[in-house]
Chains A and B, each alone.
Chain A
Amino acid sequence: MTYFPEEVLEHVFDFLSSHRDRNAVSQVCKSWFRVERWSRHRVFIGNCYAISPERVIARFPRVRALTLKGKPHFADFSLVPHDWGGFVYPWIVAMAKSYPDLEELRLKRMVVSDESLELLSRSFPNFQSLVLVSCEGFSTDGLASIAANCRVLRELDLQENEVEDRRGHWLGCFPDSCTSLVSLNFACLKGEVNLGALERLVARCPNLRSLRLNRAVPLEALHKILTRAPQLVDIGIGSYVHESNSEAYVKLCNAVLNCKSVQSLSGFLEVAPCCLPAFYPICLNLTSLNLSYAPGIQGNELINLIRHCRKLQRLWILDYIGDKGLEVVASTCKELQELRVFPYDPYGGGNATVTEEGLVAISMGCPKLHSLLYFCRQMTNAALINVAKNCPNFTRFRLCILDPTKPDHVTLQPLDEGFGAIVQSCKGLRRLSLSGLLTDQVFLYIGMYAERLEMLSIAFAGESDKGMLYVLNGCKNLRKLEIRDSPFGDIALLTNVGKYETMRSLWMSSCDVTLGGCKALAKKMPRLNVEIINEKDQMMENSHDDGEKVEKMFVYRTLCGPRRDAPDFVWTL
């Protein structure tokens, strides 16, 4: 065999950025395996309990960037008890010893303590980027240690975390020598920040591109910040309340005019809408607009703002925009790729919201749309079929009808046909969330057509075990399946057990799966962790009734066996 220098291989592998490509390449032969593992700098671990930090380190000795995900997705909706797990500390301890060159850490749904952040800040001299999404367990003290000790920090991005706000003045902990910040997002913090320190920080970081403020930063401070950082590309407004002809507002308008590079706008955590016109000048270049936290904007103001945004690619809004508003979006935002419409008043009577008509209008006007999250109160099969025809490019389609089992409101049929059309038409669909009245038929369609489907979320749907089996037997690329309140039982669970080793995880809560079924699964598949979460009765081991239904079950493949940090209410079978 011709000699092919490993250095060349390594150079070639450098061009491989996708994890899947790298995984594939590493399986070709031993030599490729070796070269690949030494050259892999970025590792993605979708389930932190699937593998131990030691094994990751053993396999990939030179990692510089790590992504870790912890809790199951339904934890976002309070379905996973608070102390379930997902602690990052052991990972940081292990990496502190073995990855001196660590530069980036990205965590999602993990528990991050202040100790972890402190250790992180001290262990990696070249640490540059910390992204925490939906995490919890830390306070502003932890942020202070990051600010103080990470000398070359470029990115501190806190998205939707639960952060305890203490007396810390973490913003002031950035040393004067810190000039490397490129991205700073603290929109999710609840408490006050030191405005002076913020201004000074912004002033000395010339590379700052993305700045997302929290609600404690008032509009009066905003214009100062914008003046100092006219190069910003992504702005998250904090508080936007004042009188429209005040001096601060005028100054703000001028500052905004200067920000010619802004492409992304978000925040408006508090807003006085008559002041929105200040942003009209930058709307022309906006590609991303997130107004989903801004309840105070009136529909008309919102629509007027959107009329200026012809280049919009991503739009997150609240449903009070109404169908009329969506029609404006459809006629204005021809480049739209991602749309999320959140419910403004989910528990209320349903005042002005969006319906299937708005969705159809969007699908007709925005052919590039591929990612959708849509909360509404009613839907029809006809509309979904229409949408499927107009937009065959969906990769993510998540529809949530607020009434969980509502049928097509015109024909009173289940929405099987509508969703069936979606999966049949959108061949690239990777993520799907269902809602409304659904029978086993929809799962039949999904199993048949959704070949690329990787994640499926099911709630209050289906009629029998067949539904779940259609999906397990049919969707060959399925990685995550999460089900709640659906009549799937042990038969569905146990018929295709091999499937679970090809998936990252399975979540079933309030279904018909029994303890006996779970035990059988655990017994058959030793490389799965079958976790029973039973908050009501923590002594579940003593209850021998195998016929008892399991409240919550989380099954995931793992190379590490049962985890040792499981709390009392989690029982790994």
Chain B
Amino acid sequence: MEGCTRNGMVCPKLLDLIPNEGEWVVRRDEGSIGVSEDKKLELRLGPPGEDWFIKGSSKNNGNDNDTSLLSLGCFPSSMINSNNSSNSSNNNNNNASHGSKRGFLDTVEANAEEAWVLNNGNPLSSSEKSTGTLFSSPWSSNSSPCLSPKAFQMKTQQQQHQSRPSFLQLSSIPQSMPAMPKESSQTCSTKVELQNSEQKACSPASANTAVPNSSQKRTAPAPVVGWPPIRSFRKNLASSSSSKPAPESYKVGADEVTPGKPEDCRKNLFVKINMDGVPIGRKVDLKSYGCYEKLSSAVDELFRGLLAAQRDCSASGNHNKTEEVKAITGLLDGSGEYTLVYEDNEGDRMLVGDVPWHMFVSTVKRLRVLKSSELPALHIGSTKQEKTPLDSGVR
């Protein structure tokens, strides 16, 4: 446990939570991080500017040797692990397991140390030195692959004297922050930034594609595809329902909550309405009426003039408007000259008025005003027995 004494203060609290050594070794056995000692050394000695190192992580642009060394320490096995198991097969079991363990743990170490040291409130600079020392020992001695695991054990022991990890220790987080500005020499150190969001602003991080990457900016909820992660039929619940669910079903029906196309949630529902004898149709917004009576009176308003004009034109060919423009009444009960029917979403022609208003609105596709005299001659409803308006009604 000598190694740790060299490095008096750097004992990441995190590590006492690391499962015991054996478990780690076992975990790494089948793992992909089987790397020989030699390769690790190669890596470490490589110049801090190699492609594989730089790519994808713009922060590590060889700031200073310490950083690059530490960063190298992060990547050892991972970087060269292209032929995972074949590499480890070259080593004896010990080597592979320790090596593999080190691979992951080194990653842990490099980052956790800085992070955790910050929580200790220790100034970064001193931790860096000691970290450098810590790293150099296993790295430099070819013959001690075991040092790393031992180092962790040592740290573990020391750990126990220290306070618990930061996420169990809220106060440590703000404490670390003031320490940060002092470490301007390490402005773009990856480890520093890990713990301190304020530093992130200066990091040339590879930004998230959709969001300008700065913790200090609050990104407005821009419409991002597939965000928030909810299914399409949950997206429009608010816009398609009224805030006051009145029993009379002002809440218009089936637009809501169905696995929907966007147009289902629009605030208007315009449907065509044609009248027998009038060549030009109209459009009505069903959502502006709450009940059949209002619809009926709207139809009257829309077509009364047109109908009269039509009659005049056909009758006398002149534009004399007579004073007696008859109101169109009795549309719903069959008592008038005209009757209102509609075509539903299944293509059937139905008599208006059988079903509750909200249900009608949800299934209507177009309206038609027919002459009542022609009604018996028409097929109302489909030919199949089950689907007559009376059956499907809710009497």
Contact = CB atoms under 8 A, between A and B. Distances in A.
Q: Report whether chain A binds chain B.
A: yes
Interface of A: 74, 76-79, 134, 160-162, 165-167, 169, 172, 188, 190-192, 194-197, 215-216, 218, 220-221, 239, 241-244, 269-274, 292-293, 295-298, 318, 342-348, 375, 381-382, 385, 400, 402-407, 411-414, 416-418, 420-421, 424, 433, 437, 439-441, 444, 447-449, 457, 459-460, 463-466, 469-470, 472-474, 476, 484-492, 494-499, 510-512, 524
B67 interface: no
Given A167-B347, A403-B221, A441-B194, A78 B226 contact: yes
23 contacts: A77-B226, A160-B231, A167-B382, A194-B386, A215-B258, A242-B247, A343-B228, A346-B234, A346-B235, A381-B173, A464-B57, A464-B205, A464-B206, A465-B57, A466-B111, A469-B78, A473-B31, A473-B103, A473-B107, A474-B104, A495-B82, A496-B78, A498-B32
Contacts of B224: 404, 485
B111 A343 contact: no
B386 A487 contact: no
Contacts of A465: 56-57
B233 interface: yes
B43 to A, nearest CB: 12
Contacts of B165: 420, 424
A490 B200 contact: no
A74 B226 contact: yes
B237 interface: yes
Contacts of A194: 386-387, 391-392
Given A195-B394, A466-B107, A491-B55, 4 more contacts: A196-B391, A243-B248, A441-B195, A484-B226
Interface of B: 14, 17-18, 27, 31-33, 52, 55-57, 59-60, 74-75, 78-79, 81-82, 84-85, 103-104, 107-108, 111-112, 115, 165-168, 170, 173-174, 190, 193-198, 200, 203, 205-211, 213, 215-216, 218-219, 221, 223-235, 237-242, 245-249, 251, 253-254, 256-259, 344-348, 355-356, 358-359, 362-363, 382, 384, 386-387, 391-392, 394
Contacts of B17: 424, 448-449
B230 A437 contact: no
Contacts of B74: 466
Contacts of A195: 391-392, 394
Given A347-B221, A463-B203, A414 B197 contact: yes
B229 A76 contact: yes
Contacts of B391: 194-196
A344 B27 contact: no
Given A78-B226, A441-B115, A295 B241 contact: yes
A298 B356 CA distance: 23
Contacts of B359: 216, 218, 239
A485 B207 CA distance: 9
B167 A420 contact: yes
A283 B345 CA distance: 36
Given A169-B386, A489-B56, A492-B56, A459 B170 contact: no
A79 B225 contact: yes
B363 A473 contact: no
Contact of B211 (A192, A270, A345, A485): A485
Nearest to A474: B104
A223 to B, nearest CB: 11
Contact of B205 (A218, A413, A460, A463): A463
